[in-house]
Amino acid sequence: MRLPWKKIALASAALAVFAVLRLSGAGELISFENLQANRDRLLAFVDAHYALSALAYVIVYVAAVALSMPGAAVLTLAGGFAFGAGAGTLLVNVGATAGAALVFLAARYLLGDWVQKRYGERLAGFNAEIERNGARYLLTLRLIPLFPFFLINLMAGLTTVRFTTFVWTTAAGIIPGSFVYAYAGSRLSVIDSPADIVSWKVLSALVLLGALALVPVAREKLRGRLNPRPGAPGQDG
């Protein structure tokens, strides 16, 4: 099999740079308190350097996702605060999808053995669902924010799912959750703590959205039980 050296080189270089950020403790600077304390200066800088600010924001978000750095929720808040709910959601989507793609490529071409050893048991069930439901399963995992984002990126890299499928399901599936936080960020002046961002109603709505995405999967399983394939286990020969 011919290895995609360009993708490997890109993932390696990016992860090396981001590893420096991780080891430097940059993630500790991403906090709700720091965002509130510096919001006036942040807004002034964005107004003066909008394009540069947007680019820098996406790069930081890619690093945060690729290295599973703490503060992703606060970063999404910052995007909504600095760029507005609409533009903030778009920038979050670009950064999160790009970061997830880097982790996917790293797992597929560089970290396969490590991921297999650490998450072998979970990986077996994950692989089975991917084989049965493919894109629909990945989309559901993205829609429901209760599943670890970083872990999905790692495990998906060891499945047979296509890279393009992984990218579009990630980009589409994270839109609702990203918008909730970006919108909350646009109203930062009336938010006192991260706990005020997502009420039980909002979480319930997101879980319901993910449950709706599971309907086709459940329907396929039910159809398989009602109409088993000839020769399947449990069938008379």
Q: What is the pLDDT along the chain (237 residues), one digit of tens a residue?
A: 455 555 555 555 555 555 554 444 444 445 666 766 777 788 888 999 999 999 999 998 998 898 877 777 788 888 988 899 899 999 999 999 999 999 999 888 887 778 777 777 778 788 888 888 888 888 888 887 656 888 889 888 888 889 999 999 999 999 988 888 888 888 776 665 555 555 555 555 556 555 655 555 555 555 556 555 555 555 544
- Give domain status of residue 237, yes or no: no
- Give domain status of residue 232, yes or no: no
- Cα 19 to chain centroid distance, Å, stands at 18
- Alpha-carbon span 210 to 142, nearest angstrom: 8
The pLDDT assigned to 140 comes to 84
Q: Is 42 exposed, middle or buried (0-12, 13-18, 19+ CB in 10 A)?
A: middle
Distances from the Cα of 47 to the Cα of 42, 50, 51, angstroms: 9, 6, 9
- Give domain status of residue 179, yes or no: yes
The pLDDT assigned to 12 comes to 57
The pLDDT assigned to 42 comes to 82
Q: Quick check: 143 and 173 in contact, CB under 8 A?
A: yes
* Domain total of the chain: 1
- Give domain status of residue 236, yes or no: no
Distances from the Cα of 79 to the Cα of 88, 90, 102, 157, 191, angstroms: 5, 9, 21, 28, 15
The pLDDT assigned to 27 comes to 45
- Give domain status of residue 235, yes or no: no
- Give domain status of residue 231, yes or no: no
The pLDDT assigned to 58 comes to 94
This prediction has a pTM of 0.71
The pLDDT assigned to 1 comes to 47
Distances from the Cα of 7 to the Cα of 14, 22, 70, 71, 110, angstroms: 11, 22, 26, 27, 11
- Give domain status of residue 233, yes or no: no
- Give domain status of residue 234, yes or no: no
**Residue 61 belongs to domain spanning:** 5-226
